[in-house]
């Protein structure tokens, strides 16, 4: 898995478009795994800073407990509904998957204003990134996918 910065160096244009989608809304949807292996979705905030993608959590939150036990994570950007009259005007949405690594370094926690709060901070290592949008003309859906070790590819669906 790679840092956001490493992914950005490999695919700068694609990474920029994906980041715009994540930055467009404060809240995202995160998927983690419960103790029994079943999925859990949670609202969360994510932040790009210093070449990394960061996730925070309130003290003792179940999503933080999930990530401490099993660091696999998926994150989905918020999405607007496409305009039926002009679906190609839809900005699209983005998602990524990887591993969340808890950061406990007091200096880093202080940089995020978390040193006194007992909150959790995780740095995301990226394995895959996907952007979905409607092509110009509104005739088909475009799915752009980057996977570590395989690079970027595109699928068009009618």
Sort residue 50 into left (φ over 0), alpha (ψ -120 to 50) or beta: left
Residue for token pair 């404060």: 26
The answer to whether residue 49 is domain-embedded is yes
Look at residues 112, 106, 123, 148 and name the one whose alpha carbon lies nearest to residue 53.
123
Cα→Cα distances 30→10, 42, 64, 78, 150, Å: 24, 5, 11, 11, 24
The answer to whether residue 102 is domain-embedded is yes
The answer to whether residue 62 is domain-embedded is yes
Count of structural domains, the chain: 1
Confidence label for 8 from pLDDT (cuts 50, 70 and 90): very high
Look up residue 140 and give its two tokens.
């088909």
Quick one: pLDDT at residue 113? 87
Q: Per residue in 111-142, pLDDT tens?
A: 998 877 788 999 999 999 999 999 998 889 99
Is pLDDT above 90 for 158? no
Is pLDDT above 90 for 82? no
- Percent of the chain residues topping a pLDDT of 70: 100
The answer to whether residue 153 is domain-embedded is no
Domain assignment of residue 99, given as a range = 4-129
The answer to whether residue 83 is domain-embedded is yes
Confidence label for 21 from pLDDT (cuts 50, 70 and 90): very high
- Percent of the chain residues topping a pLDDT of 90: 81
The CATH number for 14's domain is 2.30.110.10
Average pLDDT, the chain: 95
Give the span between the Cα atoms of 52 and 4, in whole angstroms.
5
Residue for token pair 């110009």: 136
Cα→Cα distances 32→22, 26, 113, Å: 18, 19, 25
Which pTM was predicted?
0.92
Q: Per residue in 47-66, pLDDT tens?
A: 999 999 999 999 889 999 99
Confidence label for 79 from pLDDT (cuts 50, 70 and 90): confident
Dihedral angle computed from the Cα positions of residues 50, 8, 75 and 119, in that order, rounded to the nearest 10 degrees: -10
């Amino acid at each position: 898995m790679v840092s956001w910065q490493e992914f950005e160096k490999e695919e700068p244009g694609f990474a920029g478009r994906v980041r715009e989608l994540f930055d467009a809304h404060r809240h995202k949807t995160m998927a983690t795994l419960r103790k029994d292996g079943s999925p859990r979705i949670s609202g969360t905030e994510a932040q790009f800073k210093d070449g990394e993608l960061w996730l925070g959590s309130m003290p003792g939150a179940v999503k933080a407990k999930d990530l401490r036990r099993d660091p696999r994570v998926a994150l989905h950007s918020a999405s607007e509904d496409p305009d039926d009259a002009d679906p190609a005007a839809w900005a699209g949405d983005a998602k990524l998957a990887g591993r969340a690594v808890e950061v406990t370094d007091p200096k880093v926690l202080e940089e995020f204003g978390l040193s006194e709060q007992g909150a959790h901070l995780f740095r995301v290592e990226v394995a895959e990134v996907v952007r979905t949008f409607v092509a110009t003309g509104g005739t088909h859906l475009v799915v752009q996918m980057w996977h570590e070790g395989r690079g970027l590819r595109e699928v068009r669906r009618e």
